[in-house]
């Protein structure tokens, strides 16, 4: 099965990314610092994705993003020669953009599809590790060759080895009812309509599950990877990053997000747990 990993990201621009981390929105960073942090995260995530040789690597960026600047960033990753392609979304809601990116790669199973299955990651996952991506891709392939997957496949499609590709979904959760990773095959009857934006207050993860249950789609689950949107997320990440950095001394399979750790050190940001206030006697 031909697989793809796709990072779905904005091109870093001051005032346009991670604004909920900024002082203007009740956070602790300036707009410039928030942009530096996100840029470091994106590059670290890309390096992790590029380390997974079992899949092609693609990038989808925001329609109004600065493509020349994105190209300067991509020149900084460890293996730029492994980038299969870069394309912009077509605007609209986040649901619309995710759907466009998925269709761009899978093309509903058409002969000209770029992959048989795609795994989509955000760019704000500094603790993402290669083994999580590999686990997701493996589970996606196993489910795609299951009887349950064949039963609900949209159409009969074969991979390059002549094996039928069944329907399958895989997801990795993040905090507050969201998901960090989502993957599907080209024969999976799933779309992103109302996943991120709906009028009923349903979380993205719950909506994904509801759609999978309704269509009886085989679904796999992998290790949770937290993203960073608000100050408490950032505070939670700092000790995790410290653990990763130390553990990598004893495990060659761990990839250290050096850029993200470097920018946090440069900014002098530490995570603290304040003791409860003493009540007056």
Pairing of strands 179-185, 117-122: antiparallel
Domain that residue 126 falls in: 3-267
Name the token pair of 70. Answer: 């994105």
CB 192, CB 97: distance < 8 Å: no
Residue 276 lies in a domain: no
Name the token pair of 180. Answer: 């960090």
Q: ∠ CA 25-28-31 to the nearest 5 degrees?
A: 65
Better pLDDT: 198 or 96 = 96
Residues across the chain: 281
Residue 19 lies in a domain: yes
DSSP code of 22?
B
Q: Does 201 score more than 90 pLDDT? A: no
pLDDT in tens, 68-120: 999 999 999 999 999 999 999 998 999 999 999 999 999 999 999 999 999 99
Mean pLDDT for all residues in the chain: 95
CATH of the domain at 141: 3.90.550.10
Q: Residue 62: name the closest of 90, 86, 34 by CA.
A: 90
Instruction: Read off the pLDDT band of 281 (50, 70, 90).
Output: low
Q: What is the pLDDT of residue 198?
A: 81
Dist. CA 77–CA 88, nearest whole Å: 19
Number of domains within the chain: 1
CB 42, CB 50: distance < 8 Å: no
Residue 273 lies in a domain: no
Q: What is the pLDDT of residue 148?
A: 97
pLDDT in tens, 22-45: 999 999 999 999 999 999 999 999
Dist. CA 96–CA 47, nearest whole Å: 27
Residue 272 lies in a domain: no
Helical H runs in 58-203?
A: 67-74, 94-106, 130-144, 147-151
Residue 95 lies in a domain: yes
Q: Which residues of 219-253 are buried (b: 16+ CB within 10 A; e: fewer)?
A: bbebeebbbbbbbebbbebbeebeebeeeeeeeee
Ramachandran quadrant class, 177 (left: phi over 0; alpha: psi -120 to 50; beta: rest): left
Which residue is it, tokens 């999978």? 212
Residue 77 lies in a domain: yes
Q: What is the pLDDT of residue 222?
A: 97
Residue 281 lies in a domain: no
Residue 230 lies in a domain: yes
What is the percent of the chain with per-residue pLDDT over 90, rounded to a whole number? 91
Q: What is the pLDDT of residue 149?
A: 97
């Amino acid at each position: 099965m031909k697989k793809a990993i796709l990072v779905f990201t904005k091109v870093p621009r001051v005032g346009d990314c991670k604004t909920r981390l900024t002082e203007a929105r009740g956070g602790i960073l300036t707009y410039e610092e928030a942009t530096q942090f996100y840029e470091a995260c994106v590059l670290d995530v890309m390096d992790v994705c590029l380390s997974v040789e079992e899949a092609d690597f693609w990038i989808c960026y925001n329609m109004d993003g600065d493509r020349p600047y994105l190209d300067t960033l991509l020149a900084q990753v460890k293996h730029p020669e492994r980038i299969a392609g870069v394309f912009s979304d077509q605007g609209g809601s986040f649901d619309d953009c995710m759907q466009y990116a998925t269709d761009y790669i899978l093309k509903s199973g058409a002969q000209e599809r770029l992959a048989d299955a795609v795994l989509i990651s955000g760019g704000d996952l500094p603790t993402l590790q290669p083994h999580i991506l590999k686990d997701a891709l493996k589970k996606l392939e196993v489910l795609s060759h299951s009887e349950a997957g064949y039963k609900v496949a949209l159409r009969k499609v074969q991979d390059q080895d002549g094996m039928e590709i069944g329907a399958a979904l895989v997801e990795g959760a993040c905090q507050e009812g969201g998901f960090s990773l989502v993957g599907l095959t080209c024969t999976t009857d799933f779309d992103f309509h109302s996943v991120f934006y709906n009028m009923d207050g349903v979380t993205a993860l719950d909506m994904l599950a509801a759609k999978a249950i309704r269509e009886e789609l085989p679904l796999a689950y992998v290790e949770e990877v937290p993203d960073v949107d608000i100050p408490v997320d950032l505070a939670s990440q700092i000790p995790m990053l410290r653990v990763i950095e130390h553990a990598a001394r004893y495990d060659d399979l761990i990839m250290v997000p050096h850029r993200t750790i470097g920018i946090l050190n440069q900014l002098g940001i530490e995570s603290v747990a304040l003791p409860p206030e003493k009540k007056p006697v």
